[in-house]
Structure 1
Amino acid sequence: MYDAIVVGGRCGGAATALLLARQGHKVLIVDQATLPSDVRLSTHLIWHAGVDLLHEWGLLEAVQETGCPLLTGFSLDLGELALRGQPPGSTVGAAMAPRRLALDKVLLDAALAAGVELRQGVTFEDVLKDGDRVTGIRGRLQDGSAFTAHAKVVVGADGTHSRVARAVGADTYNESPKEAGSFNLYSYFTGVKLDGVEFFSRPERMIYAWETNDGRSVIGVIQPGGAPRPARDNMEAHFQSELAALAPGLASRVQNGRRDDEWLSGAIATFCRQAAGPGWCLVGDAGVTMDPITAAGISNALRDADLAAALIHEGLQAGHSLDDSLANYQARRDAVSVPLLQFAQEMAKLAPPTEDVFKLFMALASNQEQIDNYYGVFGQTVTPMAFFDPANMAKIFAAA
């Protein structure tokens, strides 16, 4: 009998298991893969709120030692206007973009050091139940033999296509098809000089660039999900022509470097899932999958892990009810995640800016405090509701 079984040992699952083990709980991680392993479809960015959590958990230095720098410069190029700023209210005051092989290994090593057990090569098949309550999992080992384990709570950290979510029948809401979101084309480059995190916003396009491990950079072009997509054999020409037309300064810097990996691309459907039920909960993409245009996925997973572990720990204490604690998870997760999901989904349309949007950015141009607050929406140190509140909008225009 475990206190918790975590299905999925990547960033969200490893972080949840780590935090529970540090609080004295008996935790098992199961994963079908051999960990750690790379996650190819990831742009790696961790915003300020996520980096602050790594610092709080004592893991930031270990992530930096993988060859991943802190990112302290942020710019949004709108064509004739560029906004530079910093999200406020951050302890570390930086973002970072570690490759998943590096980040997940740091988290998993810390979890194992805290006493977490790891079973790899376990294919999850279903949950075990006592009535309506989840009491464990069953699956198959690599040799085909049956595997079962029992726990007071099962945590699904197994990604967008979560089998745990399907097994417990988690309801889905706030759904959008991938055609309503963005399509991302990117690769890795060496020898490209960057100034921190760079965004270039154009009608129906968003270009981004930032440094990851060992001097490499991830650079990509985002377009609406419903727009025509480049053929596999035309991705290089498409990428270079987009940069040359829309961000010639970045295009010149890219020409001075070289691409050292294959082209990666994709679009995803987005949604929220029911966060918890009797004996189970979901963290990370298993619970909320957002459009990647705001690069919020890893930060969301770390935040979910922090919240879920705190509530599970509370519920496992004498005199407390685990189900009552988990019942609070949905509302507290959604209070943060749903506005961010809606913000990302609106951005993913990449619609040409309206007159009101033009006016807002012109008003921001001379107001560094509010530029920083706008970046705080991405850094998750300022909520979308606070920044876009009518009172704050009036304050921005009054100052302008």
Structure 2
Amino acid sequence: MRTDYDVIIVGARIAGATLAYELGRAGYDVLLVDKGSFPSDVLSTHNFFNNSLAMLREMGVLDKLLSTGTPTYKRAYVQLEDAVIEGEFPEVDGESECLCIRRTHLDHILFEHVCSLERVHALQHFRVTGLVREEDIVKGVEGSQSGGETVKYTAKLVVGADGRRSTIRSLAGSKCLTAIPTEFASYVGYFKGFEQEDEPRSEFYKRGELIAIVFPTSDHLHVVGLMFPLANADLMSRMRLNAETGFREIIQSGLGESSFVSRLQEAEAVGPIRGLLGYDNDWHEAMGKGWALIGDAHSFKDPAIGQGMHDAMYSARLLKGVLDNHGLANVQWEKMASQYESELTNKFEPLFQLACEMTRNVPYTPEQQAVNHLIATYPQAACAFLGMYNHANDPGELGRLLGEISSNRESMTRLM
């Protein structure tokens, strides 16, 4: 087996596999490694809004993903205290359907698809233990294979696609530029027999200190998320005592007037309830001499905002564009890093800031709830609100639309 490549990608799930596909198709020689094997599961919201489906289709994997029987959906039901926002996600790039596919299917299909490319070589069960350097430039990785032997591989660029606790980020010395601690505990469970009215849809509830999220997913299941303040010792105690019982009781007490509660009571939990506690919304330095980061390795944000899959794929695409622009011979690392960081900021920073707001346990002010009611009242505002999540528009566009609606309402009131 060869030991020298153009690019080594550490982490072979959604971010790493996407980048390997992009680079392999463009003629780069790629080594893709992962400490695990496929198929396997990982704690994740695993939702793709319709703006990301176009890229899956371009990669040639969408039909394979849909063949798993995972349902698609177009609509969203959002309840913010007593304001209910309903509607369809705006169409993006000709795609109208969203897809929440389990990682056991997603990562395996992507991995096999990428491994079929001539220029991509993949290794499972390879754990990176160090970086190869020449002076201050990263030139490769060293690590251990399943048999225990230590191996070194060299490359012009090493990319960390290895998640929110990235080994490459740590070894490269990437600086943390922003870290906003969450004030919530986040739990996820899969349920069989959870019924939805009319057609599949995403559901989001925020009442008091409680947030609950639902997506239709693979294997005839729904994935249900629950978030509540870490500081609530009583709720934390219930989850520690019995995770499923606590999960159900907390949702029932917090959302007792919702049909969601009765539908969840009739559903059967499949597998354990799993939790994520004490995480940050963070943003790290994205590139240095000989290394770069994509996906959660670069920036992790609150799962409630549902941007992880999108950001993993699009950060891979942005990095590939930067490499095409600069090449990997006689690289001016500072110039390349500046362009990459600028493009990441332009693409992801608005929703990163929204995630930082969502992760704070702060009740809606009367003014904020009035805005929520305004969005719920006007279909064009509801469409713009949902369009923030699939990048059909940015938060600023929603603000401008609400300003126009408020101005028109005031004009009508004066005329009356």
Q: Quick check: 1:38 aligned with 2:41?
A: yes
Structure 1 partner of 2:268 = 258
Q: Quick check: 1:83 aligned with 2:85?
A: yes
- Write the distance in 1 (CA, Å) between the matches of 2:10 and 2:65: 23
Query: Structure 2 counterpart of 1:161, which letter?
Result: R
Partner of 1:92, secondary structure, is: coil
Distance 1:44 1:161, change over 3 A: same
Q: Quick check: 1:241 aligned with 2:245?
A: no
Query: Structure 2 counterpart of 1:249, which letter?
Result: S
Q: Displacement, 1:186?
A: 2.5
Question: Does the 8 Å contact 1:184/1:223 carry over to 2?
Answer: yes
Partner of 1:101, secondary structure, is: helix
Partner of 2:85, secondary structure, is: strand
- Write the distance in 2 (CA, Å) between the matches of 1:398 and 1:199: 29
Distance 1:296 1:148, change over 3 A: same
**Which of these residues, 348, 354, 359, is aligned with residue 370 of structure 2?**
359
Question: Does the 8 Å contact 2:213/2:304 carry over to 1?
Answer: no
Distance 1:237 1:359, change over 3 A: same
1:261-308 per-residue CA deviation (whole Å, 9 max, x = no partner) reads 111112212211101112211001100011112122121111111111
Question: Does the 8 Å contact 1:205/1:350 carry over to 2?
Answer: no
- Write the distance in 1 (CA, Å) between the matches of 2:343 and 2:153: 29
Distance 1:296 1:147, change over 3 A: same
Q: Quick check: 1:373 aligned with 2:384?
A: yes
Question: Does the 8 Å contact 1:205/1:221 carry over to 2?
Answer: yes
Structure 1 partner of 2:412 = none
Structure 2 partner of 1:196 = 201
Question: Does the 8 Å contact 2:381/2:402 carry over to 1?
Answer: no
Counting only pairs closer than 5 Å after superposition, residues 293-332 of structure 1 correspond to structure 2 as: 293-316=304-327, 324-332=335-343
Distance 1:13 1:288, change over 3 A: same
TM-score, scaled to structure 1: 0.93
Query: Structure 1 counterpart of 2:113, which letter?
Result: A
- Any gaps of 5 or more consecutive residues in structure 2? 410-416
Partner of 2:296, secondary structure, is: helix
Q: Displacement, 1:323?
A: 6.1
Q: Displacement, 1:252?
A: 1.3
Percentage of identical aligned residues: 27
Q: Displacement, 1:79?
A: 4.6
**Which of these residues, 216, 228, 232, is aligned with residue 227 of structure 1?**
232
1:350-373 per-residue CA deviation (whole Å, 9 max, x = no partner) reads 422111112112222232112111
Partner of 1:351, secondary structure, is: coil
Structure 2 partner of 1:93 = 96
Q: Displacement, 1:182?
A: 2.2
Counting only pairs closer than 5 Å after superposition, residues 107-146 of structure 1 correspond to structure 2 as: 107-115=110-118, 116-146=120-150
Question: Does the 8 Å contact 1:182/1:293 carry over to 2?
Answer: no
Question: Does the 8 Å contact 1:221/1:239 carry over to 2?
Answer: yes
Question: Does the 8 Å contact 1:275/1:282 carry over to 2?
Answer: yes
Structure 1 partner of 2:404 = 395
Question: Does the 8 Å contact 2:12/2:111 carry over to 1?
Answer: yes
- Write the distance in 1 (CA, Å) between the matches of 2:112 and 2:320: 18
TM-score, scaled to structure 2: 0.89
Structure 2 partner of 1:212 = 217
Number of positions where the alignment pairs a residue of Structure 1 with one of Structure 2: 395
Partner of 1:365, secondary structure, is: helix
- Write the distance in 2 (CA, Å) between the matches of 1:226 and 1:313: 47
RMSD, matched Cα: 2.0
- Write the distance in 2 (CA, Å) between the matches of 1:86 and 1:13: 31
Structure 2 partner of 1:290 = 301
Question: Does the 8 Å contact 2:244/2:272 carry over to 1?
Answer: no
1:81-125 per-residue CA deviation (whole Å, 9 max, x = no partner) reads 311123324131122111111111121122111221011222112
Query: Structure 2 counterpart of 1:279, which letter?
Result: G
- Write the distance in 1 (CA, Å) between the matches of 2:311 and 2:231: 26
- Write the distance in 2 (CA, Å) between the matches of 1:254 and 1:347: 24
Distance 1:318 1:168, change over 3 A: closer
- Write the distance in 1 (CA, Å) between the matches of 2:151 and 2:187: 40
Distance 1:175 1:337, change over 3 A: same
Question: Does the 8 Å contact 1:314/1:320 carry over to 2?
Answer: no
Query: Structure 2 counterpart of 1:333, which letter?
Result: L
- Write the distance in 2 (CA, Å) between the matches of 1:81 and 1:365: 6
Question: Does the 8 Å contact 1:31/1:119 carry over to 2?
Answer: yes
**Which of these residues, 171, 175, 193, is aligned with residue 171 of structure 1?**
175
Q: Quick check: 1:3 aligned with 2:6?
A: yes
Q: Displacement, 1:173?
A: 1.5
1:148-200 per-residue CA deviation (whole Å, 9 max, x = no partner) reads 111111110011111111111111021123xx332112211111112410111
- Write the distance in 2 (CA, Å) between the matches of 1:372 and 1:225: 32
Greater displacement, 162-171 / 77-86: 77-86
Structure 2 partner of 1:27 = 30
Q: Displacement, 1:317?
A: 7.4
**Which of these residues, 60, 68, 71, is aligned with residue 66 of structure 1?**
68
